[in-house]
């Protein structure tokens, strides 16, 4: 069933936190480390969210609230300023604000609490490689604006709330001063839209593939042109070379294992077929032959018999395929 008005409902839930101010008028701590051009453009020329994006944002928010409650129970009443009484931290002179998920009462001074949810794969990456730079900037902004000296960042896997990684970050006055400089620049561009052409995109800080302002972004367009010529940043080249090297090593290990797996499966199947049994219970498992059938559509014959009809219903869709050759054996991922 399609519930009418769901788009409006999602929108109204997203706009409920009006107490925290009009986000088009200030730079939030969660944005300050991202590409400033995209952030400023999103304030000057806001793009309406589609239903799927609003749904994802609300789901993430609901999950974060649940995690805050879990942390509240775990810390046994040491959390303040959550939910409706969330802190609204404002810079004294700049349009720079922060809204941490809570304040933790500590024995040697309070700290801010920030909760993040991530897919299981991203969660594992953060756990092994540490927090990304924009999260660090966010909590440095929160600490600078609240004058608190430490922050606890809790990252939780969306697939399993028991998968929880914690990071304690100390306040770094130099980092905060850099963020204030960025807020000052952003404020100037927000004040005078005619200056926007002078604001270079920061491709290293942005998710350019999903950026609605990429068409007019010189930095992104030049990077794309360079990419078409096969020129990529050195750091990206090194990252890919490391990944290829690891892939190559893993394939060298798993190749013989895969062959042995196929050999053993074949051995069990032959033994079962030769025995005449369809199912056998063993000490460490069960083996059985399962009969199944599949009906498929013979599109080649259909094209031969009814070419006009076949052409009418043909559909072309595009997708990207990653093909790696050379360092490791040819591997394609769709
Ligand atoms: S395309 Fe990339 S660099 Fe350009 S504004 Fe968007 S996020 Fe920033």
Which residue has a Cα nearest atom 5 of ligand 1? 38
Residues within a 6 A CB radius of ligand 1: 35, 37-38, 201-203, 206, 208, 211, 213-214, 217, 219-220
Q: 288 is written with which tokens?
A: 């059985």
Q: How many CA atoms lie within 13 A of 180 on its CB side?
A: 14
Cα–Cα dist 42/190, whole Å: 10
* DSSP letter, residue 280: E
User: How deeply is 98 buried, as exposed, middle or buried, from its count of CB atoms within 10 A (0-12, 13-18, 19+)?
Assistant: buried
**What letter does residue 94 receive in the DSSP assignment?**
S
Mutate to test the pocket of ligand 1, among 219, 221, 224 (most ligand atoms within 8 A of CB): 219
Span from the CA of 266 to the centroid of ligand 1 (angstroms): 53
pLDDT, one tens digit for every residue, the chain (334 residues): 667 777 777 777 766 665 666 788 899 999 999 999 999 999 999 888 788 888 888 888 888 889 998 888 888 889 999 888 889 999 999 999 999 999 999 888 999 999 999 988 889 889 888 999 999 999 999 999 999 999 999 999 988 888 899 999 999 999 999 999 999 999 999 998 888 889 999 998 878 888 999 999 999 999 888 888 878 788 777 877 887 788 788 878 887 788 888 888 888 888 877 777 777 788 888 888 888 888 888 888 888 988 888 888 888 877 777 777 765 444 444 4
In sequence order, what are the residues at sequence separation of 6 or more whose Cβ sits closer than 8 angstroms to the Cβ of residue 324? 244, 247, 330, 331, 332
All CATH 3.90.320.10 domain ranges in the chain, comma separated: 17-194
Ligand 1 atom showing the smallest separation from residue 203 Cα: 3
CA geometry: angle at 58 spanning 78 and 216, to 5°?
115
**What is the pTM (predicted TM-score) of this model?**
0.73
DSSP string of 181-229?
HHHHHHHHHHH-GGGGGGS---GGGS-GGG-TTGGG-HHHHHHHHHHHT
Q: What is the CATH number of domain 17-194?
A: 3.90.320.10
């Amino acid at each position: 069933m399609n519930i009418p008005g769901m788009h409006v409902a999602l929108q109204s839930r997203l706009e409920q936190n009006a107490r925290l101010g009009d986000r088009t008028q200030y730079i939030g701590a969660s944005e300050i480390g991202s590409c400033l051009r995209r952030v400023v453009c999103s304030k000057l020329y806001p793009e309406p969210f589609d239903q799927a994006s609003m749904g994802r944002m609300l789901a993430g928010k609901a999950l974060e609230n649940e995690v805050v409650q879990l942390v509240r129970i775990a810390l046994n009443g040491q959390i303040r300023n959550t939910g409706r009484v969330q802190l609204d931290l404002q810079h004294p002179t700049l349009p720079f604000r922060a809204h941490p998920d809570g304040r933790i009462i500590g024995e040697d001074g309070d700290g801010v609490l920030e909760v993040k949810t991530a897919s299981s794969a991203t969660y594992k990456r953060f756990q092994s490689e540490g927090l990304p730079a924009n999260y660090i900037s966010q909590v440095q902004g929160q600490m600078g604006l609240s004058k608190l000296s430490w922050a606890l960042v809790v990252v939780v896997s969306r697939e399993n709330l028991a998968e929880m990684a914690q990071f304690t970050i100390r306040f770094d006055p130099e980092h905060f001063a850099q963020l204030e400089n960025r807020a000052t620049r952003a404020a100037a561009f927000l004040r005078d839209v005619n200056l926007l052409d002078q604001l270079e995109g920061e491709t290293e800080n942005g998710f350019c593939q999903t950026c609605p302002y990429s068409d007019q972004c010189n930095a992104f367009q030049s990077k794309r042109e360079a990419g078409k010529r096969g020129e990529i940043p050195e750091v990206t080249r090194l990252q890919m070379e490391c990944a290829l090297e690891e892939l190559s090593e893993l394939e060298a290990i798993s190749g013989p294992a895969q062959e042995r797996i196929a050999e053993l499966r074949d051995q069990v199947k032959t033994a079962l077929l030769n025995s005449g049994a369809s199912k056998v219970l063993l000490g460490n498992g069960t083996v059985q032959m399962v009969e199944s059938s599949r009906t498929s559509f013979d599109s080649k014959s259909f094209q031969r018999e009814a070419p006009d009809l076949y052409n009418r219903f043909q559909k072309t869709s595009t997708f990207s395929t990653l093909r790696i050759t050379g360092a490791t054996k040819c591997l394609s991922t769709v």
